[in-house]
Structure 1
Amino acid sequence: WNQVRKLQKNWTVKYGIPMLLLVVGGSFGLREFTQIRYDAQKIKKKLDPTLEARVNTKKQLAILQDEYEKLKDLDLDVWKNIRGPRPWEDSKEYQEDASIHTSLDVQ
């Protein structure tokens, strides 16, 4: 027991070893946290091809042309403005009214 008391009073054992454990343990801990960050960045880099084309400026021209082709055939002059429901109104009622109006417009 005498040697244990000497070790408890020793400055190196009392302050040095805990500091060394903190530095070494902190290094390993930080390595794990930074690895999580890099793994998340790798996941973000794996994009869906259509989304990647939207982000990539070289492929954006092709997407715009495709969208133009889709919209070119639509008749944008014939449409009816249907008011959406207010937060306090029943949305189902307005959805039914809208479906009735659109079915009447198609015929």
Structure 2
Amino acid sequence: MGTFTNKPYGQKSALGPLAAQAKKRPFLVFGLPFLVIMVGGSFGLAQLTQTKFDHRDRRHTKVAKEEALGMDKNRRKLSLQEEYFRLQAQTDDEWDQVRISRPAGTEN
């Protein structure tokens, strides 16, 4: 069986002064890391959201380039007022009522 090493009582470790400071000032152990995480997280999230908006803007820029190439030259401009008047001008006589055949196994 191995022997235990001899450590005299009261031997100072390398972290002894740091542990004493932490006991005197708990802000260094709890508060400072909390504030660093909160401020760092805020900057990190800001960077992520900026990346998201940049990606969205790049997508819309591609659509604008396609429009600049003239893909929709022949399209008619849509006006809600014109569509409303066009639908109002239609009469009810322009359609026919057509009976569809019923599925097999159903009654009339």
TM-score bracket, normalised by the shorter chain, equals 0.3 to 0.5
Question: How high is the TM-score relative to the length of structure 1?
Answer: 0.44
Question: How high is the TM-score relative to the length of structure 2?
Answer: 0.44
* Structure with higher helix content: 1
RCO comparison, higher one (Cα < 8 Å, 6+): 1
